[in-house]
Homo-oligomer: A and B are copies of this chain.
Amino acid sequence: MQADADWLAEVKWTEDGLVPAIVQDCASGRVLMVAWMDRAALAETAASGCAVFWSRSRRRLWRKGEQSGHVQRVRELRLDCDGDTILLQVEQEGGIACHTGRESCFFRRLRDGRWETTDPVLRDPSDIYGDTGR
């Protein structure tokens, strides 16, 4: 095993070889999204400095921003005490992380027994992606 892979071995991967990654905006502190990484995605994220995930629906590496341009420049990578969750501090290109065109995927707040949408759509998803999905 190469020395540079030791830190990857400290991550507790799921049976599917994945780990959840929380993405936080390093300027605002806002939690932007949660996605999954496999070993290759985490290694490439660390090496390239831009967030790369594993898309479970498309079953391939997903270089965040590859379609939207909403690249996430990684300022810091953290691991939790159990070794089973990654935390990324990022600069969010375009100020939009969510495929709905909002800053954050956490745009609904519980209020009076219902999930209330609190965040505006900053850019129409069809402008971001055309009709090809996220």
List residues of chain A with CB under 8 Å of any chain B CB: 3-4, 6-7, 10, 20, 22, 24, 28-31, 33-34, 46, 76-82, 85, 87, 98-100, 102, 105-110, 113-115
Contact = CB atoms under 8 A, between A and B. Distances in A.
19 contacts: A3-B113, A4-B113, A6-B113, A6-B114, A7-B113, A22-B31, A28-B29, A29-B30, A76-B110, A78-B106, A78-B107, A78-B108, A78-B109, A78-B110, A79-B108, A80-B105, A82-B105, A85-B105, A87-B106
Contact of A22 (B10, B34, B46, B82): B34
A76 B94 CA distance: 26
6 residue pairs, one from A and one from B, having the closest CB atoms: A29-B29, A77-B110, A80-B105, A78-B106, A81-B105, A87-B106
A100 B83 CA distance: 13
A102 B81 CA distance: 10
B81 A34 contact: no
